[in-house]
Amino acid sequence: MIKNGHYTTIDQRADAGWTKPSGSVRSPEKRKRVVRLWCDGCYDMVHYGHSNQLRQAKAMGDFLIVGVHTDAEISKHKGPPVFTQEERYKMVRAIKWVDEMVEGAPYVTTLETLDKYNCDFCVHGDDITLTVDGKDTYEEVKREGRYRECKRTQGVSTTDLVGRMLLMTKAHHSNMDNPDYQQHTDNFGKGPKGHSPWTGVSQFLQTSQKIIQFASGKEPQPGDTIIYVAGAFDLFHIGHVDFLEMVYKQAERPYVIVGLHFDQEVNRYKGKNYPIMNIHERTLSVLACRYVSEVVIGAPYAVGKDLLDHFKVDLVCHGKTEVIPDKDTSDPYAEPKKRGIFRTIDSGNNLTTDDIVKRIIENRLQFEARNQKKEAKEMAVIEAMKRKEQQEQDEGAAQVAH
């Protein structure tokens, strides 16, 4: 019934309890029709939570279309985005579960949009998205039965990541029980009436199952060029995507392996409170990229003989950023250089994780205000939902009494 996490025909979805909206009669020629899905959002500061939503959505059908809102639309409804629309478009295109990306998608999802792109239904996480006047942006498609939900990824949110950047401590490397960290996230992601379950902060717990879901599971094949790159890949961003795309283009049949350094190693050469994302979070972020085939979790800093021989590496690449010497002051790329397989790649994009952190710090007050406003709207909806539920319970009890 399910192959590689996907239903292969619309008949098999029906057998599994999935019903196609707008009741159509099944006929032989329609049985193998491709089921098209729609997701939309801001996709600002794209993280593994966004990727996991798109992975789950893709598993509900065959062809995933993702609509991304413009800067103007986001500013109107939420406040200014961290990344420009062009940067956000490119980030979404790089996620391996996305088949097509639509620029400038409307903020409110309508049946007109689903029909325009020939989509059966739209998929969204189990949080709530509100317009500037507090209305559910998916109200219309929910009413018409063309809405499906997937689980929100616990332990990551843009709010949380921004909080880590502003706090400048290393609490997130090991645990988030640090009282300073907790106090800051309380200030940053808390509205006047308490925490919203959608905007609040919680700790991410890595599992082997999550890694399996994100991994390609593909071994290198004869004829593939095995390319190795290494680094922190912290706050996986558009600079990383442009670099990995250029690495991918270095061969006709590339098999790109990314070596990720442990948190302590990254902190040694980056300092401050880096990495912003811990090793578990960085692993999923990199695995979600369509140019990456495999990830080495906790790769050695020096790209030595053992690593090159173990993975049968044909080419080692590094960007234009400075190469920091190893602890013993040696060049970490000495061995691949000696073998003549080292190549410096110019991606044409010099954006760094430092630049992103600077963007956030410069706009700190705006982002704090944005998140508090967002959470206040969410809390108002939660209160309204609770009141409605209580009212229904009271009416039910009254009917039973009569």
Q: Per-residue pLDDT for 201 more than 50?
A: no
Residue 193, pLDDT score: 40
Q: Per-residue pLDDT for 389 more than 80?
A: no
Altogether, the residues listed in the chain come to a count of 402
- At 220 the three-state DSSP class reads coil
Per cent of the chain over pLDDT 70 is 75
For the stretch 60-73, what's the b/e string if a residue is b when 16 or more beta carbons lie within 10 angstroms of its beta carbon?
bbbebbbbbbbbeb
pTM for the model stands at: 0.77
Residue 185, pLDDT score: 40
Q: Which residue, among 92, 91, 89, 100, has the nearest Cα to 34 in the 3D structure?
A: 100
Q: Is 17 left (phi over 0), alpha (psi -120 to 50) or beta?
A: left
Whether a cis peptide bond, with omega within 30° of 0, leads into 275 is yes
For the stretch 351-374, what's the b/e string if a residue is b when 16 or more beta carbons lie within 10 angstroms of its beta carbon?
bbbeebbeebeebeeebbebbbeb
The 3-state secondary structure of 248-263, one letter per residue: HCCCCCEEEEEEECCH
pLDDT band at 184 (very low <50, low <70, confident <90, very high): very low
| pLDDT, tens digit, 9 for 90 and up, residues 6-15 | 333 333 333 3
Q: Is 45 left (phi over 0), alpha (psi -120 to 50) or beta?
A: left
Q: 360: part of which helix (H) or strand (E)? A: helix 353-362
| pLDDT, tens digit, 9 for 90 and up, residues 333-388 | 999 999 999 999 999 999 999 999 888 888 776 766 666 665 665 566 667 667 77
Among 31-35, 150-154, 183-187, 305-309, the range scoring the smallest mean pLDDT is 183-187
Helix runs in 199-333, H state only: 208-214, 238-248, 263-270, 279-287, 305-310
Q: Per-residue pLDDT for 228 more than 60?
A: yes
Half-sphere exposure of 20 (CA within 13 A, CB side): 21
- Contact (Cβ atoms closer than 8 angstroms) between residue 98 and residue 124: no
Helix runs in 43-125, H state only: 48-58, 71-77, 85-93, 111-116
